[in-house]
């Protein structure tokens, strides 16, 4: 089965581009095959520093193939974040893992001749605007001081995937290829709305005291998370089947996966552990993360008026709840969710997050490859479904000039808690080979006009990446 060619028109468009390139006598710098492009070395120009408060770092290969990989990192808390409350990070990230002591990925890409660049953002939190600005400024710095790239590929993880796609839709003039990985490509509004759904279900079923919106301070949000986290952990420890059914139901509301990087979900016990682990992180973003975003966008931007929570449960999920909690459990849970007091957004804040928080249109202007793990409880894989729908609509409206390929990795059915899933389960849990494969496939598509077909994808991804050509995510929750 072929990779997700979201619409046949995309293949036709790419084929037309390839044919045109083959027949053209005009030199296209993007297709330039020179792999020894001159540049100003880092001995002569500062390849580390700051630009408008954002730290940057540039890594140059010995021989440059003319391609700049511009990386956008994922979400970084504005203040110490639960559950571990690690110090705030403002370091530059030129390539994933570079600052963690694992330089294998960066060295592999450098050995292929790519230039690597990335930065922090001038603020932390849901800093999409600052991330876009940092990417723009770092590109300008590179072009002014190092060399003019033949090609620029933007890529990023998680929130950085949203920043990547936002950059791409804004700057088709200098971006040639796009790779959002484990990205929030469904956009800020949709993801925060589902986060509110999960928090609402948590309040209705587990912690009636939980505050859903309009946090006054970081300290208030931490207090809310601490109590909620303690409540769900203690509920799970009791072994009370009615409480466990409610814990599972909260996850079902947001179409959460039954696996995490730690727990394989192969038994009911493992599913419950995976769900609790996921909820601890989800509630952290629903409290501390929401507080920062509300402060940034001027109030509560989410609402759940009119949401049909009964539609969030399929027959298999209802059966599981009844099996765990006893007959009638599913009906009682759904009734509680349907009858709870709903939340209304502040219109001005809602408008702000739509306009400024990152909400991709799907109007893809360059070759684009996305990749997502099947079991991602933080940025659910259904983001790819929503982005694909928008892409299809943009194609139908003749607003697309690029193509889209969506790749998915699936975890083994069982794995030990330590070291956990090797791929496919957990947020951004990709092998280095699969990351390199995405870049090389994108490069072949952009530079040589070779659309990434099934054989090429399989060869590039290898057998140890979890790549699954048959897997497709379900629709966005409740669609």
pLDDT digits (tens, 9 = 90+) for 354-413: 999 999 999 999 999 999 999 999 999 999 999 999 999 999 999 999 999 999 999 999
User: pLDDT at residue 2 above 60?
Assistant: no
| Residue-range domain boundaries for the chain | 4-185+359-461, 189-353
The pLDDT value given to residue 257: 95
The sign one gets for the Cα dihedral 210, 213, 216, 221 is positive
Show the DSSP H helices in 54-182 as ranges. Answer: 104-111, 128-145, 159-170
DSSP letter for 46, please: -
How far apart CA 204 and CA 226 sit, in angstroms, is 18
How far apart CA 424 and CA 408 sit, in angstroms, is 8
CATH topology of domain 4-185+359-461: Rossmann fold (3.40.50)
Q: Name the 3-class secondary structure at 150.
A: coil
**What are 419-428's pLDDT values in tens digits?**
999 999 999 9
DSSP letter for 114, please: -
- DSSP H or E run through 152: strand 151-157
Contacts for 230 with CB less than 8 Å, ≥ 6 apart = none
Picking from 323, 321, 324, the residue whose alpha carbon sits closest to that of residue 310 is: 321
How far apart CA 405 and CA 117 sit, in angstroms, is 24
Quick one: pLDDT band at residue 12, thresholds 50, 70, 90? very low
Quick one: pLDDT band at residue 478, thresholds 50, 70, 90? confident
| Three-point CA angle 414, 418, 421, nearest 5° | 45
| pLDDT: which is higher, 23 or 51 | 51
**What are 271-320's pLDDT values in tens digits?**
999 999 999 999 999 999 999 999 999 999 999 999 999 999 999 999 99
How far apart CA 197 and CA 307 sit, in angstroms, is 9
User: pLDDT at residue 104 above 80?
Assistant: yes
Query: Strands across the sheet with 67-72, in order?
Result: 4-5, 404-409, 368-373, 177-181, 151-157, 67-72, 115-119, 54-59, 48-51
Cα distance from N-terminal residue to C-terminal residue, the chain: 25
Residue linked to tokens 């440059």: 64
- DSSP H or E run through 5: strand 4-5
Q: Name the 3-class secondary structure at 373.
A: strand
User: pLDDT at residue 25 above 70?
Assistant: no
* CA dihedral angle for residue 428, residue 430, residue 436, residue 442, rounded to 10 degrees: -60
**What are 108-156's pLDDT values in tens digits?**
999 999 999 999 999 999 999 999 999 999 999 999 999 999 999 999 9
**What are 257-274's pLDDT values in tens digits?**
999 999 999 999 999 999
> Residue 369: beta bridge partners?
405
User: pLDDT at residue 233 above 60?
Assistant: yes
User: pLDDT at residue 7 above 60?
Assistant: no
Prediction pTM value: 0.93
User: pLDDT at residue 55 above 80?
Assistant: yes
How far apart CA 357 and CA 297 sit, in angstroms, is 8
The pLDDT value given to residue 479: 64
Please provide the size of the chain in residues.
479
């Amino acid at each position: 089965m072929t990779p997700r060619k979201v619409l046949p028109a995309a293949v036709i468009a790419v084929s037309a581009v390839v044919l045109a390139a083959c027949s053209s006598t005009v030199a296209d710098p993007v297709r330039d095959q020179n792999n020894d492009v001159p540049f100003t070395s880092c001995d002569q120009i500062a390849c580390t520093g700051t630009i408008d408060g954002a730290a940057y770092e540039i890594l140059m290969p010995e021989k440059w193939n003319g391609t700049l990989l511009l990386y956008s990192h994922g979400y970084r808390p504005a203040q110490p974040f639960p559950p571990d409350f690690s110090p705030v990070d403002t370091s530059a990230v030129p390539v994933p893992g570079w600052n963690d002591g694992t330089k294998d990925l960066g060295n592999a890409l450098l050995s292929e001749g790519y230039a690597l660049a990335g930065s922090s953002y001038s603020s932390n939190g849901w800093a999409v605007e600052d991330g876009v600005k940092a990417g723009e400024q770092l590109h300008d710095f590179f072009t002014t001081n190092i060399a003019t790239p033949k090609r620029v590929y933007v890529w990023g993880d998680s929130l950085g995937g949203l920043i990547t796609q936002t950059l791409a839709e804004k700057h088709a003039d200098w971006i040639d290829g796009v790779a959002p990985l484990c990205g929030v490509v469904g956009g800020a509004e949709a993801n925060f709305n589902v986060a509110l759904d999960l928090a609402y279900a948590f309040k209705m079923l587990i912690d009636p005291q939980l505050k859903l919106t309009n946090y006054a301070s970081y300290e208030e949000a931490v207090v809310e998370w601490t109590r909620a986290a303690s409540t769900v952990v203690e509920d799970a420890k009791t072994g009370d089947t009615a409480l466990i059914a409610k814990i599972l139901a909260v996850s079902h509301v947001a179409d959460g996966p039954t696996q995490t990087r730690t727990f394989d979900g192969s038994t009911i016990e493992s599913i419950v552990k995976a769900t609790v682990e996921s909820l601890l992180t989800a509630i952290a973003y629903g409290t501390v993360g929401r507080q920062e975003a509300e402060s940034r966008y001027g109030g509560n931007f989410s609402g759940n008026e009119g949401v049909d929570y009964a539609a969030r449960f399929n027959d298999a999920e209802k059966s599981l709840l009844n099996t765990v909690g006893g007959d009638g459990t599913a009906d009682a849970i759904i009734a509680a969710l349907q009858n709870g007091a709903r939340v209304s957004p502040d219109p001005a804040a809602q408008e702000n997050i739509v306009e400024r928080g990152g909400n991709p249109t799907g109007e893809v202007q360059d070759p684009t490859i996305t990749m997502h793990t099947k079991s991602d409880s933080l940025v659910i894989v259904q983001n790819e479904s929503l982005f694909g729908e928008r892409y299809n609509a943009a194609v139908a409206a003749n607003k697309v000039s690029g193509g889209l390929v969506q790749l998915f990795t699936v975890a083994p059915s069982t794995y030990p808690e330590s070291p956990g899933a090797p791929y496919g389960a957990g947020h951004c849990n990709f092998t280095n080979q699969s990351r390199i494969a995405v870049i090389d496939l994108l490069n072949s598509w952009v530079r040589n006009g070779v659309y990434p077909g099934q054989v090429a994808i399989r060869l590039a991804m290898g057998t140890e990446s979890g790549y699954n050509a048959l897997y497709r995510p379900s629709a966005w929750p409740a669609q």
